[in-house]
Each structure stands twice: as C-alpha cells, then as structure tokens.
Amino acid sequence: MSLFISNAYADGGAPAQAGGGFEMLIMLAIFGVFFYFVVYRPQAKRVKEHKELMSALSKGDEVLTAGGLVGKIVKVTEENDFIRVSLNDNSEVMVQKASISAVLPKGTIKSL
C-alpha cells in the first residue's frame, strides 16, 4: 500500500446490469433525425435553389461567378451547359452554368 493511493477491490456482491438494445435504437433514431434536419435538409435546399438559378439564366442577366468575375450574359447554350459572359466591351469568357453563384440586380456592373 502506498501513501497517497489506496487499493481498489472489486465488489463481488452486485452483478453488472446489462444494457438494453431499445435505448440504443432510440439514440440512433434521435441521431438520424438530428442529421436529417441539421445536415441533409439544408444542403438539399441549397442544391435545389442553385438548380433553379441555373435554369433561370437568360441573356442580359448580370451574374457573379464562383471565381469572382462579374459580367453580363451574352449567350446561353442549353446543349452543353456553358454560357458566354461579357466582362467588359472587349472581353468575353465561357463559363459553366454551375459556376454561376448569383444573379445580380440590373445596373450592378455600372455601379461598380
């Protein structure tokens, strides 16, 4: 026996209680509901909104790309999911529709 640590002896009188499987199922269900409302549902909502944004793109819209470019849509092609964006009077770029992050209000480019 040491000076600061006392000896620990096992209690042989009471048997260990077995955990039920029902409590584990309840916890798993609570975790599933939590995961649905915190992770899956908001992400699915964002994906749906982005698909609606991509389908509503039209010529003349002022857009912001994921790379930070701001421009006006010159041409929309449906067959290959690319659009042509005019950055200024002299330069145009081709970008994928999926890279459009926001449609800006009319006149935003002139105010920048």
Q: Is 2.30.30 the CATH classification of the domain at 58-111? A: yes
Per residue in 44-77, pLDDT (tens digit) is 999 999 999 988 999 999 999 999 999 999 999 8
Q: 45, 46, 49, 54: which is closest to 73 by C-alpha?
A: 54
pTM exceeding the 0.85 threshold for the entire prediction: no
Per residue in 19-35, pLDDT (tens digit) is 667 888 999 999 999 99
Enumerate the domain spans of the chain: 19-56, 58-111
